[in-house]
């Protein structure tokens, strides 16, 4: 075997080893056309570099995710085994600020639910959104302790504040819940907050003073054991897609405390008319059906980057 041939083999071997060592742990093979959530769920760490929310809240990913500490002075992460306590720096600072406000209202702090996966993207279960690191779920359970073990936090059951009739809040709901939601919505970083309709109705009917902050509180099904905060796209984030229409455009009043709100606990709960012809609605593609081709092109860099 000649020297040139030996040199060639060594060179190829070195290139192979380089690619093997530098290749990301999980890549994207377009020929497999895997669901995007099967790709994103494999990452335990974020990409290195600047934090950027990419795409829409329910169709995007996250560059340079920042981790919220498992336990802080005024909060604890719930369901820690999911590894969903990653987000854009704006949501991390928001959580810390709101947790501190909760202590001034009378709670020990806050139990924090899902934010996003290390690199954002579609999740294998639980959410359609939470993909860009700008969403966070906050439990409506007043913390009794902020020293729970990870095992305890993976098993603890969240408290519901809604009656089984779906029309009213139950005895778990307190004025402090409303005060925390007011603090949450009054922050300029917030785009909107989702919670069950009975909770918003209670606040519309019982809170005193200016209620302009209630416009950001949007009724939605479920959300009776947590509320979902969605932050605005940060400034200088051209890759982030804003939600439209805005809360102002959706609302029929400055507070959203109008007949459209009461629809959720009246007409929306009526049983369907058996004589009405059923309309066949084509099922829309959901987050768990997305492939990488459905997401912004920049998300390919996120799954291939380090």
Give me the residue spans of the domains in the chain: 33-268
What pLDDT, in 10s, does the model give residues 235-283?
A: 989 999 999 999 999 988 999 999 999 999 999 998 887 777 777 777 7
Write the CATH number of the domain with boundaries 33-268.
3.30.1380.10
> What is the three-class DSSP state of 272?
coil
Contact predicate 202/217, CB 8 Å: no
| Cα gap 198→160, rounded to integer Å | 12
Distance CA 216, CA 161 (A): 20
* Cβ within 8 Å of residue 249, ≥6 positions away: none
User: What is the pTM assigned to this prediction?
Assistant: 0.88
Nearest to 230 by CA among 245, 248, 243: 243
Query: Distances in Å between the alpha carbon of 285 and those of 41, 190, 233, 289?
Result: 19, 27, 24, 6
Model pLDDT for residues 119-148, shown as the tens digit of each residue: 999 998 878 899 999 999 999 999 999 999
Helix axes 197-206, 175-185, angle to 10 degrees: 90
pLDDT in tens, 10-61: 544 443 344 344 444 455 566 567 899 999 999 999 999 999 999 999 999 9
């Amino acid at each position: 075997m000649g020297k040139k041939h030996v040199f060639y083999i060594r060179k190829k071997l070195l290139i192979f080893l380089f690619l093997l060592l530098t290749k990301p742990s999980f890549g994207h093979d377009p020929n497999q056309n895997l669901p995007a959530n099967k790709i994103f769920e494999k990452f335990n760490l974020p990409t290195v570099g600047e934090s950027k929310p990419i795409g829409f809240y329910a169709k995007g990913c996250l560059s340079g995710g920042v981790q919220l500490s498992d336990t802080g002075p005024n909060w604890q992460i719930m369901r820690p085994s999911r590894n969903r306590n990653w987000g854009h720096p704006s949501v991390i600072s928001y959580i810390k600020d709101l947790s501190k406000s909760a202590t001034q209202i009378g709670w020990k702090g806050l139990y924090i639910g899902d934010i996003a996966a290390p690199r954002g993207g579609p999740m294998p279960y639980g959410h359609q959104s939470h993909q860009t690191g700008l969403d966070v779920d906050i439990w409506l359970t007043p913390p009794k302790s902020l020293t729970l073990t990870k095992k305890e936090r993976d098993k603890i059951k969240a408290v519901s504040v809604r009656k089984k009739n779906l029309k009213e809040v139950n005895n778990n709901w307190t004025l402090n819940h409303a005060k925390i939601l007011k603090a949450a919505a009054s922050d300029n970083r917030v785009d909107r907050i989702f919670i069950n309709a009975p909770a918003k109705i209670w606040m519309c009917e019982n809170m005193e003073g200016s209620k302009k902050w209630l416009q950001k509180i949007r009724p939605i099904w479920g959300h009776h054991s947590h509320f979902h905060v969605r932050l605005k796209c940060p400034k200088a984030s051209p890759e982030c897609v804003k939600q439209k229409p805005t809360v102002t455009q959706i609302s029929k009043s400055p507070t959203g405390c109008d007949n459209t709100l009461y629809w959720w606990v009246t007409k929306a709960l009526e049983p369907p008319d058996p004589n009405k012809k059923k309309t066949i609605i084509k099922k829309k593609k959901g987050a768990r059906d997305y492939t990488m081709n459905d997401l912004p092109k920049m998300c390919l860099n996120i799954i291939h980057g380090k």
